[in-house]
Structure 1
Amino acid sequence: MNETLHIIDGRNVLRIEHRLPHAPAKVWRALTEAPHLLAWFPAAMAIDLRVGGEIRFTMDGGDDITTGVVTHLEPPRVFAYTWSGDHLRWEVHPEPSGCLLVLVHTFDDRAGAASFASGWHVCLDALAASLDERPFVAPDDTWADHETFIARFGLAQGHVVATDHGWAVRFERQFRRPVARVWEALLAGSAAPVAVGGPPPPATTVGLAPAGAVTEFAPSSVLEYRWQHDGHPAGRVRWQISQGPGGARLQLEHTGPQALADLRPAALAAWQDHIERLAVATR
């Protein structure tokens, strides 16, 4: 498979190309007919196969139902539709040995791109197995693929923004692990239960921002503390954990005053390294 990620018209566009040794007509049926879709697509689909027709997606045993609309239909070459706020476009290009299948997935959640890419890899492997009429066993863990896409797409990097009182270094990082597991890794090494007014866990701190007292704490959700410079409060470090696609979504913000703007590059580097070590710790 070949994967690329770009920003087009302000949205993230993931493109995956996959060559299949099967006739375009056979692949087209696998893309558009409900009995074939059950073998590989991540949701059951009920399709009104016409431009403007509704699609109903059913996941989790029927408890989670979302809808979409067919936007393009050119049998047997192009099938495109919305799914909640995303857009999926499937293209079937004939080749001498079969066909080239192209998926173009357009979405807003850039931090989720690695989860989408690794998830589609599993789906497309299942599609290939179905077309080959052979059994498919989904992998128990896609952590390694996910982390490969994190690196390839540059999703581990943070950015600096200006604030009313100075600056903030921000990271948003998707993990292929449950919220509870990532939260447990953050609390690792605490000598006592974490509480407002007490020290933050060592796994939430870096050396360039000496930690003060915890100012906000909500288990499995939020941990914030003040950091100090030369013994005086300088800003805050805030960790937030929520559910993202395929696992925990981590958001980190480290704020500082304009007088300490020279610390921004070091803060970016330190927190990126810290978060990557956290990702390895959850493996």
Structure 2
Amino acid sequence: MFRVDPAQDGQGIVSEPATVRIQKLLPGPVERIWDYLTDPAKRRLWLAAGIMEPHPGGQVEHLFRHRELSDEATPERYRDFEDSPAMHGEVTQWDPPRTLAYTWPGDNGASEVTFELFPEGRDVLLVVTHRRLGDPETMVSVASGWDAHLGILADRLAGETPRGFWSAHTRLEAIYRDRFNKIDGENSR
């Protein structure tokens, strides 16, 4: 049985300038994980609902409904995000079931997210890389958001009750702010 280890949260890194990378080991097989990335009904359970056209140049839509991800109430500071409008991006890579990439719907395509799937026995290593992020605070927000969403995906795949999205996001923000500020401080020397 696959066991979700919350101690593995907060392990994302700055892999190159303006880029964050997060890895998560998930219960496979790889086709199952691919479905959770691309099927709107399954993607809605951990990230966002919305269509995804299965080819390069295809449309990606995200309808974020964070309150549907877990039983946790949305904190006041995030209430404006409860019913986000449809956000659109474009598929840039479609190589089932190994690689999916698209321009990020939340910033009008200024950044791009890539999902890479690597089978590891019965499990799958999912590597999420988000490139062309605008500034250090955006990198903190993106890393903590992806990490919180991936935690919910891991919970769902393992048949566990999903953790609270916002409490995980808040905890992860502190981890990433501290880690990325240290990196920024080292780079400014």
Q: TM-score, normalised by structure 2?
A: 0.73
Structure 2 distance, partners of 1:143, 1:82, is 25
Q: Tell me which structure has the larger Cα radius of gyration.
A: 1
Q: Which residue of 2 aligns with 1:44?
A: 49
Of the three residues 34, 56, 64, the one matched with 2:61 is: 56
- The sequence identity of aligned pairs, in percent, is 27
How far apart, in 2, do the equivalents of 1:119 and 1:68 lie?
18
More helix by share: 2
| Aligned position for 1:3 | 12
Which residue of structure 1 lines up, in the alignment, with residue 95 of structure 2? Answer: 74
Give, as a single letter, the amino acid of the residue that structure 2 aligns with 1:119.
G
Show the counterpart of 2:78: none
Q: Letter of the aligned partner of 2:116 in structure 1?
A: E
For residues 26 and 95 of structure 1, the distance between their equivalents in structure 2, rounded to whole angstroms, comes to: 14
SS at match of 2:171: helix
Give the structure 1 partner of residue 30 of structure 2. 24
Determine which structure has the larger strand proportion and give its number.
Answer: 1
User: Which structure's relative contact order is higher, taking Cα pairs within 8 Å and 6+ residues apart?
Assistant: 2
Say yes or no: does 1:117 pair with 2:138.
Answer: no
Structure 1 gaps, min length 5: 159-283
Alignment-mate amino acid for residue 146 of structure 1: E
Q: Distance in 2 between matches of 1:87 and 1:67?
A: 12
- Please tell me the residue identity of whatever aligns with 2:150: L
- Cα distance between partner residues in 2 of 1:129 and 1:94: 19
| Counterpart among 145, 160, 177 of residue 150 in structure 1 | 177
Instruction: Determine helix, strand or coil for the equivalent of 1:124.
Output: helix
Any idea what SS the aligned residue of 1:137 has? coil
Whether the 8 Å CA contact 1:111–1:155 is kept in 2: the answer is no
Looking at structure 1, the residues matched to 157 and 120 of structure 2 have their Cα atoms a distance apart, in angstroms, of: 16
Q: How many Å separate the matches in 1 of 2:27 and 2:86? A: 33
Pairwise CA distance, 1:62? 5.2
**Residue 130 of structure 1, CA deviation:** 1.5
Secondary structure of residue in 2 paired with 1:64: coil
**Separation of aligned partners in 2, 1:62 and 1:153:** 30
Residue 24 of structure 1 aligns with an amino acid whose one-letter code is: V
Contact 1:150 1:156 (C-alpha < 8 Å) held by counterparts: no
Q: Shift of the alpha carbon at 1:99?
A: 1.1
Post-superposition CA distance 1:191-229 (Å, at most 9, x none): xxxxxxxxxxxxxxxxxxxxxxxxxxxxxxxxxxxxxxx
Aligned equivalents of 1:82, 1:101: Cα separation in 2: 18
The one-letter code matched in structure 2 to 1:112 is T
CA-CA distance at 1:75 after TM superposition: 0.3
Aligned Cα RMSD in Å?
A: 2.5
- Give secondary structure in 2 for the equivalent of 1:80: strand
The AA in structure 1 aligned to 2:21 is R
Report the Cα offset of residue 87 of structure 1: 0.5
TM-score (norm 1): 0.50
**Take 2:83 and 2:12, find their aligned partners in 1: how far apart are those partners?**
31
Matched AA of 2:102? Y
Give yes or no for contact 2:136–2:180 (8 Å, CA) kept in 1.
Answer: no
Equivalent residue number for residue 13 of structure 1: 19
Once the two structures are superposed, residues 77-129 of structure 1 have per-residue CA deviations (whole angstroms, 9 ceiling, x without a partner) of 00100012220100000111311100001122322212221221210111011
The reply to whether residue 35 of structure 1 matches residue 41 of structure 2 is yes
Assess if the C-alpha contact under 8 Å between 2:31 and 2:97 holds in 1: yes
Where in structure 2 are there 5+ consecutive unaligned residues? 1-7, 65-80
Deviation at 1:49, TM superposition (A): 1.2
Q: Residue 26 of structure 1 aligns to which amino acid in structure 2?
A: R
Aligned to 2:72: none
92, 95, 110: which one aligns with 2:117: 92
Amino acid at match of 1:135: T
